Amino acid sequence: MPDFTLVMGNRSSSSWSLRGWLALKCAGVEFDEIMVWFKRPETKAEILAHSPSGFVPVLKHSGGLIWESLAIAEYMADLCPAAGLWPEDIEARAHGRAISTEMHAGFSRLRNHMPMDLQNDRPGEGMADGVDRDIKRICEIWQETRDRFGAGGSFLMGGFTIADIMYAPVVTRFKTYGVDLGPVCQAYADTVLDHPLVREWIEAAQAEPPLGEVPS
Ligand SMILES: N[C@@H](CCC(=O)N[C@@H](CS)C(=O)NCC(=O)O)C(=O)O
């Protein structure tokens, strides 16, 4: 039995769970999954049985508990340095941490009005007041990071790092809601959507029953 267990939400709508899952997968460890289905009367109680914050994802490892997706990703980077979850260069790593925490703490308008939905296409929906400002800032971040640190590969900092993990759910939102991106950002978004682990998650999400039809 693996020593790692990830408690997560169902794949079609749990954007933070995608981040935790990608971090464990990229670290290359075996882990068990406990999935909590959202939007049922018992959802909150089921999450609280595992998570002190009442949110997922939560990682259980060696008797310890790590909640918050970014803390999980940092934990895996510490445990598995050879996995390259952060770039080696200190300036690049600091930049990666800055844009990851900006994502973790911000873009609430985008998150509220364009929730992750991997089962439907919703072009044109969600463009409420302020969402355009979040989109513009995210595109600036992607473009600047690619320009300054992306020379070694097709992801934000070359290889696939925690920075890409933090922005992967946003990439799926831009596709679901048909957001028009410039060529650099669209190329980056397409690269993320084509990552084998992102494809694996999306395919599994599309095979889930629609949320309203999940039995209690
Ligand atoms: N800052 C947290 C956010 C976690 C979060 O909001 N998780 C959502 C799922 S994507 C959740 O647990 N929702 C359950 C609820 O609101 O009851 C993290 O990074 O892990």
Q: What is the pLDDT of residues 169-196, one digit of tens each?
A: 999 999 999 999 999 999 999 999 999 9
Residue located nearest, by CA, to atom 2 of ligand 1 = 68
Specify whether 107 is located in the same domain as 75. Answer: no
Encode burial over 135-164: b for 16+ CB neighbours within 10 A, e otherwise.
Answer: beebbebbbebbeebbeeebbbbbbbbbbb
9 lines ligand 1 (CB under 6 A): yes
Which whole number is the average pLDDT over 134-154?
Answer: 97
pLDDT of residue 32: 98
CATH code assigned at 194: 1.20.1050.10
Q: Is the pLDDT of residue 30 over 90?
A: yes
pLDDT of residue 210: 87
Specify whether 66 is located in the same domain as 99. Answer: no
Specify whether 64 is located in the same domain as 162. Answer: no
Specify whether 90 is located in the same domain as 174. Answer: yes
Query: What's the sign of the alpha-carbon dihedral 34, 37, 42, 45?
Result: positive
Specify whether 59 is located in the same domain as 91. Answer: no
Pocket test for ligand 1, best of 11, 44, 56, 173 (most atoms within 8 A of CB): 56
Judge if the upstream peptide bond of residue 115 is cis by omega within 30 degrees of 0: no
Specify whether 92 is located in the same domain as 137. Answer: yes
Give this prediction's pTM. Answer: 0.97
Look at strands 32-36 and 4-9 and give their pairing: parallel
Cα–Cα nearest to 145, from 102, 194, 96: 96
d(CA 111, CA 155): 22
Domains contained in the chain, number: 2
Q: Is the pLDDT of residue 215 over 70?
A: no
* Beta pairing partners, 5: 32, 60
Specify whether 8 is located in the same domain as 75. Answer: yes
151 CA to centre of ligand 1 in angstroms:
33
141 CA to centre of ligand 1 in angstroms:
23
pLDDT of residue 211: 79
d(CA 54, CA 125): 29
Residue span of the structural domain in which 43 resides:
4-82+209-213
Specify whether 62 is located in the same domain as 94. Answer: no
**pLDDT more than 90, % of the chain:** 95
Q: Which atom of ligand 1 is nearest to the CA of 14?
A: 10
48 CA to centre of ligand 1 in angstroms:
12
CATH code assigned at 38: 3.40.30.10
Band of residue 212 on the pLDDT scale cut at 50, 70, 90: confident
Specify whether 73 is located in the same domain as 91. Answer: no
Specify whether 25 is located in the same domain as 99. Answer: no
CA 24 to chain centre: 12
Specify whether 74 is located in the same domain as 133. Answer: no
Q: What is the pLDDT of residues 86-123, one digit of tens each?
A: 999 999 999 999 999 999 999 999 999 999 999 999 99
10 lines ligand 1 (CB under 6 A): no
Specify whether 98 is located in the same domain as 180. Answer: yes
Q: Which atom of ligand 1 is nearest to the CA of 43?
A: 17
pLDDT of residue 89: 96
69 lines ligand 1 (CB under 6 A): yes
203 CA to centre of ligand 1 in angstroms:
22
195 CA to centre of ligand 1 in angstroms:
24
